[in-house]
């Protein structure tokens, strides 16, 4: 019952954000600032995670296919599992963990220090000033991050396939190339933009409605990352079903 009420309040919050964004001119400078911050700060961690996701993908794919003599399928496995599914969802998980928690804790701290009330007193719409640039920034930058992540996954799995597993490199990359298409990149970018919007709105909602005190900020940040990860995983299935099903 409580969850349902939260869901309803979240819906109102989203409607308010959309209305506030439409009512005022778009804050381009702040948007670029936020996009830069989210993108640059998340990049090193994202490349690290994608690298090791790729290495593991190659190891596990090899372990699964080698007993059947299907080593040649490794490239296809990496392309399907890594590019189509894992890269977007790992990017979403990492951005939720890094940028999402940061947004939640920043906005929660502003809330409990009454800075949000101060904005309202100065006749600045806090939703427009704080949340619109973050949402637009994350939507701008997340598809680019996903493409970086895809290339890292392919490169690291090729590295493991060639160096650790002793597979021939060129046929592997040809398999990857033959299995992926421009459509995959497009779907991944759409997924990334959708996940970004969701992560931003969920994290900002929990930050915006934070309870007072250090414990309140802590639990708002906590709720933000869990709820956005779960929401992205569920949304991922529906986008995949629409695109490939």
Partner 1 sequence: MDGMTTSLVGLARFGRHASAVCVRSVTPPWSVADVAHHTWLLATRCALPVVAVVFPAGMVIALQGLLVFEAFGAERLLSSLVSVAVFRELSPVLASVLVAAQGGSAFAAELGAMKIREELDATAVMAVDPVRVHVVPRFLAALIATPMLHLVGCMAGVCGAWLVAVGFKGQTDGVFWANLWGLSRPVDLFGSLLKTVVFGALIGLIATYKGVQASGGAAGVGRAVNDTVVVAITSFIVANYFLTSALFGALR
> For partner 1, which residue of 53, 74, 131, 173 counts as binding (CB under 8 A)?
53
- Under the binding rule (CB under 8 A), the answer on residue 67 touching partner 1 is yes
Residues 6+ apart with CB under 8 A from 27: 128, 129, 132, 133
Q: Report the phi/psi class of residue 69: left, alpha or beta, with left for phi > 0 and alpha for psi in -120 to 50.
A: left
For residue 225, give the nearest of 39, 68, 93 by alpha carbon.
93
Residues 6+ apart with CB under 8 A from 185: 147, 150
Site for partner 1 in 102-161 (CB under 8 A): 102, 104-106, 108-109, 112
Closer CB to partner 1, 171 or 218, in the complex:
218
CB 175 within 8 A of CB 74: yes
- Under the binding rule (CB under 8 A), the answer on residue 20 touching partner 1 is no
Question: Quick one: which segment of 8-16, 20-28, 63-71, 137-145 binds partner 1 (CB under 8 A)?
Answer: 63-71
> For partner 1, which residue of 131, 176, 199, 225 counts as binding (CB under 8 A)?
225
Closer CB to partner 1, 101 or 146, in the complex:
101
Closer CB to partner 1, 132 or 221, in the complex:
221
Q: How far apart are CA 14 and CA 97, in angstroms?
A: 21
DSSP string, 187-208: HHHHHHHHHHHHHHHHHHHHHH
210 in helix, strand or coil? coil
Site for partner 1 in 74-113 (CB under 8 A): 76, 80-81, 84-85, 89, 93-94, 96-98, 101-102, 104-106, 108-109, 112
For residue 206, give the nearest of 193, 220, 186 by alpha carbon.
220
Question: Quick one: which segment of 29-37, 143-151, 193-201, 226-234 binds partner 1 (CB under 8 A)?
Answer: 226-234
Q: In angstroms, what is the minimal distance from the CB of 26 to partner 1?
A: 28
- Under the binding rule (CB under 8 A), the answer on residue 200 touching partner 1 is no
Burial 162-189 (b: 16+ CB within 10 A, else e): beebebeeeebbebbeebbeeebeebbb
Q: How far apart are CA 93 and CA 108, in angstroms?
A: 21
Closer CB to partner 1, 23 or 117, in the complex:
117
- Residues lying near partner 1 in the complex (CB under 8 A) are found at 45, 48-49, 52-53, 55-56, 59-60, 63-64, 66-67, 76, 80-81, 84-85, 89, 93-94, 96-98, 101-102, 104-106, 108-109, 112, 164, 213-219, 221-222, 225-226, 229-230, 233-234, 236-237, 240-241, 244-245
């Amino acid at each position: 019952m409580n969850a349902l009420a939260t869901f309803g309040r979240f819906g109102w919050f989203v409607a308010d954000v959309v209305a506030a964004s439409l009512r005022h001119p778009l804050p381009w400078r702040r948007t670029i600032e936020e996009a830069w911050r989210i993108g640059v700060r998340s990049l090193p961690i994202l490349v690290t995670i994608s690298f090791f996701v790729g290495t593991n993908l190659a190891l596990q794919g090899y372990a699964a296919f080698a007993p059947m003599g299907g080593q040649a399928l490794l490239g296809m496995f990496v392309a399907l599992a890594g590019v189509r599914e894992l890269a977007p969802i790992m990017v979403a998980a990492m951005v939720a963990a890094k940028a999402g928690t940061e947004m939640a804790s920043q906005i929660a701290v502003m809330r409990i220090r009454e800075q949000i009330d101060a904005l309202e007193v100065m006749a600045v719409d806090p939703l427009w000033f704080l949340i619109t640039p973050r949402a637009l920034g994350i939507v701008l930058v997340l598809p680019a991050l996903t493409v970086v992540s895809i290339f890292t996954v392919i490169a690291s799995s090729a590295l493991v396939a060639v160096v650790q597993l002793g597979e021939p490199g060129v046929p592997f990359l040809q398999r990857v190339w033959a299995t992926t298409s421009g459509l995959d990149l497009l779907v991944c970018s759409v997924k990334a933009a959708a996940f970004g919007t969701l992560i931003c709105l969920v994290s900002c909602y929990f930050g915006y409605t934070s309870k007072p005190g250090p414990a309140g900020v802590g639990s708002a940040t906590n709720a933000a990352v869990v709820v956005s990860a779960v929401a992205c995983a569920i949304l991922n299935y529906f986008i995949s079903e629409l695109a490939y099903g």
